[in-house]
Structure 1
Amino acid sequence: MTLTNPETETCNMHCYGYLVNFLCCGLMLAGLWHLVNHRTYQSAYGRHMGHPPCARTVPARVSWFVQEMPALLVPLLLLLTTHKPSSMGKYLLLGTWCLHYFQRTFVYSLLTRGQPVPVDVMMTAGLVCSVVGFLQGHYLLHCAQFDDGWSADYRFKTGLVLFYIGLAINVHSDYILRNLRKPGEVIYKIPKGGMFEYVSAANYLGEIMEWFGYSIATWSFPGFSFAIFSLCFIGTRAYYHHRYYLEKFKDYPKLRKALIPFIF
């Protein structure tokens, strides 16, 4: 599997290579900024939101639907402007991206029982999803070029396996968390089962695995930058979730780690 230089033009649509590189660097810097800036506190939503909330909020289902939708919608709109990608690999790789965000938009958001989300958090998340949706869609459809042996490449196979394992962990962990609560409840309980036997943030572990798998399968700067961004953003949140559980529940499993089984 090979990729063209992002300055090339494919599929009758110009590849904006400089913009791709700029957005990739911006994503990684934003992730590192979040990692440094949130060493002592977390964004005020979910279990880390104050009581009562200090900002205007919207229902969790509305918030997740609105903020996740652009990451699915933007690549699909870009697909309409593209004339027959030169490789089926582009369709399949873009499909892995869209599969995740279809699940987040039309399944997770409609089933979640989370607390209301501040409007500013929803708007910021929606902006990020719009940017990364454009970045991944534009790169795969207008910049990347796969040779005829893409499907046999070990990077493609390894990346997709890692992606789908991560997706399964993510979906199963969300199911466990959702069913800890009765309808109408917003209290937090100790999750059990699946990867929660090993880490406090099994859902985040699954999502991080997805994006590193995606970055390997695409073997691209956009894929890698988003994986780093995700690790910095939800990795810190996983740490604070773990600390929350330890402080709230005296009987919390002592051997359970925050994000990486047996390590961290």
Structure 2
Amino acid sequence: MIRKILATLLLAAAFISARAASVDTVLVPSAAMHKNVKCVVIAPAHVKSLRGLHVVYLLNGYSGNHSDYARHMAPYLRAQADAHHWIFVCPDGNNSWYWNSPVDSNYRYETFISTELPAYVDAHYATIANRTGRAITGLSMGGHGALWNALRHPDMFGAVGSMSGGVDVRPFPQNWEVAKRLGPLDTAAHNWDKWTVMEQASSLKNGQLAIIFDCGVRDFFYDVNKALHAKLLAMGIHHDYIERPGEHNWEYWGNSIQFQLLFFSHYFDNAAAK
């Protein structure tokens, strides 16, 4: 009897495992940077037999890497991948702020995120290979990177989010290697103005992107997120903005990601209905 129970449990576990989304690390070539970039790809079960897949790009924060989301959120993201037939792609941000650095040609991460990486994903999976099938979000530095890339490449991304994003780096001139990417604030102030989400948002047109961003009220990026919200309101740009109790940590982001993915689900559904 015990053997039969164990056999049944093993078969059930094997069945569940066979249906579970995969978590793999791939090397994506970047011609712009003359190197390969590590990316974690979370894909639904039987992905090779699926068509019309949506892709959500998840950008890591400063001092993090491509494995962060898999280490902290793998069960949830795998469940979402299977439930919606989504692919999650998590590239290594390498403390780049996801810019094409104006002072260091080794950092061409905007080109990678907005051109090279989507081209690789679309070539290797049966995706919806246009903006209506892509969303991008991230946390902290990655929140900035998601908004930066989507604002500058709305032809590539239809929906964008940010969790605790560093949407304006100018109040933090000594932090997070920003000066290494832009030059010192006192001698390269133009770069600090131009290479910030707050200023890039000035060119945004209403309806150009589906936008959601949030921040915890005890987060050091709270004031800049609240300022971006106020700016978008003044510009008449429709967006979802959420502030809630929370700090700059994975406890907050584990809650935030659920709202972001619900928002993206609605965007994908609405885009498909048009």
Normalised TM-score (structure 2): 0.25
Structure in which a larger fraction of residues adopt strand? 2
* TM-score, length-scaled by structure 1: 0.26
Counting helix residues as a fraction of each chain, which structure ranks higher? 1
- Which structure has the higher relative contact order (CA within 8 Å, separation 6+)? 1
